[in-house]
Amino acid sequence: MGKLEEIKKSIFRIRGLYIKELKVLLKDIFAMFIIYALPVFLVLFLGGVFGGNGTGGDDGGGGLASMMGGGLEIPTIGLIDNDNSEGFPNIDLSKIFVNKCMQYEEAEEVEIIESNNQTKLEILLGQGIISAYIIIPEMFEYNLSIHFPTILVVVIDVLELSGFQASQAIIDVIIEDFKEENNFTGVFDYEITRANIPETGRQLFSGVSLFFPMVIFAIASLTGAQLIVSDIPKDRLALTPANKFEIILSKLISLQTLMTSLILILLILSYFLGLQIRGSVFDFFWILFLCALLGIIYGLFMSSIAREPLEALQLFIFVFLFQIIAVLFVQNELILSLLPLANTSLLIVSIALRGQSPLSEYIYYLIQFSECIIFFLAAYIFYKRKKVLL
């Protein structure tokens, strides 16, 4: 009975501390505005409200980059026609290919620089003035006329990723269009169906797995990183019956409450901007909920080991930047599985976007739960060892 009474009192204290923490957080109106503005702007940008390729409608181009949902820039491509061969009566096939390129230039989908000097195009490519060049080879028309394939020379600059994607996409489109118009099906008439791409909100669909966890984790851990180290009245709390476990737990719950409302805003806005997912919205919510929880616990851990608010912020940059770069450039599964951002990103793709069962990725949930427990306990231990200055 005594123990039960103690638990009741503890819950009562946690409730009081929770309300106090929530009030402290909500009191900083400017900070709250940024917390909520960030996800709203994120979804609006990804949803194409401010332009770009956000509506994701299939413009018929069908290139790889447009499938990614990326807003493509107009690439500049060099073109050399080396073909003087004869094959079809009364037509110049290489000229038709050049005209096809010009049609796309008129439609403002590409800029073409015609030349007869490959060295000049190499220099332009090296200078970044053109992002690719095509050479129509000698025997182009003849080979096609005798039912033989022709190989175009295509050189692409890979130094600028956006130009690389845009030029490859437009070259694919021009070649497909040319083949279709002239009935060059090849031995295999590829009928490629790009499956599982939603009809609406493509950009949102392609950005959701990276940017949703990024925003949720960043806000949660950044705010969490200041909760202990910047909490001036926390030392006075030592005079009350509240213990440090109750204090840290109430901080966690209050920030998680805010993060939950933020996740709901993200999901509702995404739904209105046309995000289509194969999995259940509840699963998607829980994935983001867990990401937020992990973010707060990471933040609390940083806050408990930092001596100054600035130090906590620096720890936050370290953790956040390291994860972003790892997610973008590292492919080692072991390293990625330990990073909350990469883990959440994977769970979103598998469970929310692909519609797989949550059980199919239980190992990643297990890692996240383990990290939650380990870092929370570590945060508590460090916080408990901190000296109280009255």
Residue nearer to other proteins on the CB measure, 13 or 48: 48
Within its chain, how far is the Cα of 318 from the centroid? 19
User: Shortest Cβ distance from residue 284 to other proteins (Å)?
Assistant: 14
Residue nearer to other proteins on the CB measure, 148 or 369: 148
Residue nearer to other proteins on the CB measure, 10 or 150: 150
Give the tokens for residue 372.
């939650």
User: Shortest Cβ distance from residue 10 to other proteins (Å)?
Assistant: 28
Residue 374 to residue 380: CA distance in whole angstroms: 10
**CA distance to 12, 226, 240, 245, per residue, from 381 (Å):** 23, 17, 20, 9
User: Shortest Cβ distance from residue 86 to other proteins (Å)?
Assistant: 15
Q: What is the DSSP letter of 89?
A: T
User: Shortest Cβ distance from residue 238 to other proteins (Å)?
Assistant: 23
User: Shortest Cβ distance from residue 373 to other proteins (Å)?
Assistant: 26
User: Shortest Cβ distance from residue 189 to other proteins (Å)?
Assistant: 5
Q: Which of 250, 246, 256, 247 is nearest to 223 (CA)?
A: 256
Which backbone phi and psi does 365 adopt, to 5 degrees? -60, -45
Residue 281 to residue 272: CA distance in whole angstroms: 13
**CA distance to 7, 110, 159, 172, per residue, from 79 (Å):** 78, 12, 20, 15
Task: Identify the residue whose tokens are 């950044």.
Answer: 222
Q: Which helix (H) or strand (E) holds 334?
A: helix 333-337
Task: Identify the residue whose tokens are 């901190």.
Answer: 386
**CA distance to 75, 118, 138, per residue, from 128 (Å):** 11, 15, 27
Strand order in the sheet with 111-115: 111-115, 76-81, 132-136
Residue nearer to other proteins on the CB measure, 106 or 189: 189
Q: Are 265 and 39 in contact (CB under 8 A)?
A: yes
Q: Are 97 and 112 in contact (CB under 8 A)?
A: no
Residue nearer to other proteins on the CB measure, 178 or 365: 178
Residue nearer to other proteins on the CB measure, 197 or 242: 197
Residue nearer to other proteins on the CB measure, 13 or 61: 61
User: Shortest Cβ distance from residue 5 to other proteins (Å)?
Assistant: 38
Residue nearer to other proteins on the CB measure, 175 or 242: 175
Give the tokens for residue 233.
């009245």
User: Shortest Cβ distance from residue 279 to other proteins (Å)?
Assistant: 10
Q: Are 279 and 353 in contact (CB under 8 A)?
A: yes
Residues making up the chain, counted from first to last: 390
Residue nearer to other proteins on the CB measure, 13 or 140: 140
User: Shortest Cβ distance from residue 4 to other proteins (Å)?
Assistant: 39
